[in-house]
Amino acid sequence: MNLILSRPKTEAEAGLAAQFEALGGLNAARRAAFAQFAEAGLPNKRVEAWHFTDLRGAMDTALPLAGDAAGPVGKPESLMPGACVIALVDGRYSPAHSDDLPAHVALCTDTGPMATKDSVLALNHAFAAHPLHLEIAAGCAVDQPIHIAHLISQGQPKALFARVAVTVGAGAQVCLVESASGMAGPHQINLALELTLGADAKCSHIADFAAANSVLVNSLSARLGGQADLHSFAMLSGGALLRRQMFVALEGEGGNVTLNGVQLGRGEEHIDTSLVVAHMAGHGVSRETFRTILDGEATGVYQGKVVVHPHAQKTDGKMMSKAVLLSDHAVMDNKPELEIFADDVVCGHGATVGALDEDQIFYCAARGIAKPEAEGLLLQAFADELIEALPDAAAIPHMSQRVADWLRTRKDVAQ
Amino acid sequence: MLEIRNLHAEIDGKKILNGLNLTVRAGEVAAIMGPNGSGKSTLSYVIAGRPDYEVTAGEVLLNGVNLLEMAPDVRAAAGLFLAFQYPLEIPGVATMTFLKAAMNAQRKQRGEAELATPDFIKLVRAQAKALKIDPEMLKRPLNVGFSGGEKKRMEILQMALLAPKFGILDETDSGLDIDALKIVAEGVNALRSPQRGFLVITHYQRLLDYIKPDTVLVMSKGEIVKSGGPELALELEKSGYKDYVGEAA
């Protein structure tokens, strides 16, 4: 006998179902995606991949969907000088806010979302009505960085779903920048970026999300062909709940992925970076390095899982998460994991959580640098060690300044 | 210049300094010698204001102002410098960045304008050259991966740039070979002036061949138990500390 226990829907889940019904006449893929979401519901602590981040608890209701009639929008922040801006206003590509596409980059028809086991990404696939698909022609190096700018229009708190897919052809090279502005809502924002890298393709991805008081889930899915190279860096700050989740599959031999990030949390903010890297072929290299600074009663999460499939021999994987807690009430949850089914691999992981070193602070003080400035100097250096490793040096000043601004406002808060 | 009166200090409830008195006049170099565990390093930390030491009585006056009432960074800006026995590594902070932050922090405390970058660079280069510090080293994070000798030279470079009224050298000779010792001693001697005083803490007489002290003080069990001229250091080198350990007990 099969016993099926059905859990009553939360108000937010019921609201999402009603909103989806009201959209009507959708294609089979979107209906299937919603069915997948509906079966799992909003993730909570009992879902292992979401153990430290209770989205169900953070979403009391389903906010109204962002409509077609967008309010005024601000300009995207300039992360990289000279970037080509591709703007999505409330999840929809807006040529009026965008620059002309550079050579070798084309908008193309959607080829359908990548399969996912994550219910929040399935929800994105169900609701993202205007997916944008960019294609970088094989063998072409795009000189100009492409800045995917999510612009959220002013107005009432709303729910917003955006999906962007980028296919980087074999041997092509591109730098993608991703940001969101207009986050003060509180909104409910669900962004997805799907990258497909052909053999020998190279992609540098630089993301900046300051979630303010909103709930933001940002998903990066990537599939790498043989010898393909992906370097992704993200700066995360703020957020009633901010989660960046990454699903990377090294499908071809000799793929190389680097996932780095800095998380800055204060007050009651909750910031989560969770990732799964699957080595599915041999000779792949993966590096995940994260730095988290938490103040107040903020919570930080790092969950990293590297899976080495049986045929992925000679895999080289290293993962490290370091967190600094500036207050007794801040909490960091670190969970690095390795799942190895091949026998000839080199994999390692590490995680640290601690306060700033009092001896270093005294040393600075003995040179005349007062405690708040000394802390600022040490914390800036802690984040800059990752920022300065960015392959696109033009993004370094912006990211470094993001940390400096956060540290400066920290002092304002303290006074 | 520096006057310490009846200084008592402890760490984790353990008494280390027991009513220490000493005076160093402007222009003077006083050497403190003493056996392990006599409280020499504690004395330097207490004067500089390390937070884990508790001062239970006494005063430390620099030109008549009680340092013990100031935060450590305020003491530094008031003109106190401690060259650490074990200089801390500051990962990720380029030496130049650190030096500039320190100089400007002190200038700000004293109500002076920030140094212009070209002036600062010129100043650092000149002092680094005198101490035979490779300019490339100044780009590296402070003290990270530096040898013992490089760390000590970096301490003297900082002292030269910060130009304190009073300098304390805590076992600056430890871990130095003879060439590095000479360079460090020359660096200190170049800073000697009628307005500046030094307290040189050392185990060995050797350093005092290069930095000639005006007075030599012997410390034991948290007190100064004997004082004399430079000849006292030579005497100690021969006879050891056993007489003084007994005397203080």
DSSP string, A118-174: -HHHHHHHHH--S-EEEEEPTTPBP-S-EEEEEE--SSS--EEEEEEEEEE-TT-EE
Rounded mean pLDDT of B201-217?
91
- Tell me the two tokens of residue B66: 């009680």
Beta-strand pair A146-151/B197-201: unpaired
What whole-number distance in Å separates Cα of residue B66 and Cα of residue B72?
12
Q: Which B-chain residues 91-150 have CB contacts (< 8 A) with chain A?
A: 91-93, 97-98, 101-103, 105-106, 109, 141
Tens-place pLDDT, residues A92-137: 999 999 999 998 899 887 777 888 999 999 999 999 988 999 999 9
Answer with the residue of higher pLDDT: B241 or A133. A133
What whole-number distance in Å separates Cα of residue B154 and Cα of residue B162?
12
Crossing angle (nearest 10°) for helices B95-109 and A371-387: 160
Residue with the two structure tokens 């030579």: B234
Crossing angle (nearest 10°) for helices A371-387 and A396-414: 150
What whole-number distance in Å separates Cα of residue A277 and Cα of residue B102?
43
What is the band of A76 on the pLDDT scale with cuts at 50, 70, 90?
Answer: confident
What is the band of B175 on the pLDDT scale with cuts at 50, 70, 90?
Answer: confident
Q: Which chain B residues are within 8 Å of A377, Cβ to Cβ?
A: 90, 93, 97-98, 101
**B26 close contact with A: CB closer than 8 A:** no
Tens-place pLDDT, residues A252-267: 999 999 999 999 999 9
What is the band of A2 on the pLDDT scale with cuts at 50, 70, 90?
Answer: low
C-alpha distance from B237 to closest chain A C-alpha (Å): 32
**pTM, full prediction:** 0.91
Q: Which A-chain residues 345-384 have CB contacts (< 8 A) with chain B?
A: 357-360, 362-371, 373, 377-378, 380-382, 384
In the prediction, which pLDDT does A371 show? 92
What is the DSSP secondary structure assignment for residue A361, as one 8-state letter?
H
Rounded mean pLDDT of A351-373?
95
Averaged pLDDT of chain A: 93
Is it true that the peptide bond before A102 is cis, omega within 30 degrees of 0?
Answer: no
What is the DSSP secondary structure assignment for residue A79, as one 8-state letter?
S
Residue B183 has pLDDT above 50, yes or no: yes
Rounded mean pLDDT of B143-166?
94
Domain ranges of chain A: 11-68+79-414
At the fourth CATH level, the homologous superfamily of domain B2-248 is P-loop containing nucleotide triphosphate hydrolases (3.40.50.300)
Domain ranges of chain B: 2-248
Residue A412 has pLDDT above 60, yes or no: no
Q: ipTM of the assembly? A: 0.95
In the prediction, which pLDDT does A415 show? 42
What whole-number distance in Å separates Cα of residue A87 and Cα of residue A175?
16
SS (H, E, C) chain B: CEEEEEEEEEECCEEEEEEEEEEECCCCEEEEECCCCCCHHHHHHHHHCCCCCEEEEEEEEECCEEHHHCCHHHHHHCCEEEECCCCCCCCCCEHHHHHHHHHHHHHHHCCCCCCCHHHHHHHHHHHHHHCCCCHHHHHCECCCCCCHHHHHHHHHHHHHHHCCCEEEEECCCCCCCHHHHHHHHHHHHHHCCCCCEEEEECCCCHHHHHCCCCEEEEEECCEEEEEECCHHHHHHHHHCCHHHHHHHC
**B67 close contact with A: CB closer than 8 A:** no
C-alpha distance from B6 to closest chain A C-alpha (Å): 23
In this structure, what are the phi and psi dihedrals at residue B116, rounded to the nearest 5 degrees? -70, 140
CA distances from A113 to A33, A279, A407, B171, B228 (A): 9, 21, 39, 67, 86
Tens-place pLDDT, residues A39-48: 999 999 999 9
What whole-number distance in Å separates Cα of residue B92 and Cα of residue A179?
27
In the prediction, which pLDDT does A141 show? 96
Q: Is A268 helix (H, G, I), strand (E, B) or coil?
A: coil
In the prediction, which pLDDT does B246 show? 56
- % of chain A surpassing 70 pLDDT: 97
In the prediction, which pLDDT does A24 show? 85
Q: Which chain B residues are within 8 Å of A359, Cβ to Cβ?
A: 88
Residue A146 has pLDDT above 80, yes or no: yes
Rounded mean pLDDT of A180-193?
92
C-alpha distance from B38 to closest chain A C-alpha (Å): 22
C-alpha distance from B71 to closest chain A C-alpha (Å): 8
Rounded mean pLDDT of A147-171?
95
For testing contact with chain A, the best of B44, B73, B168 (most A CBs within 10 A): B73
Tens-place pLDDT, residues A331-341: 999 999 999 99
What is the band of B248 on the pLDDT scale with cuts at 50, 70, 90?
Answer: very low
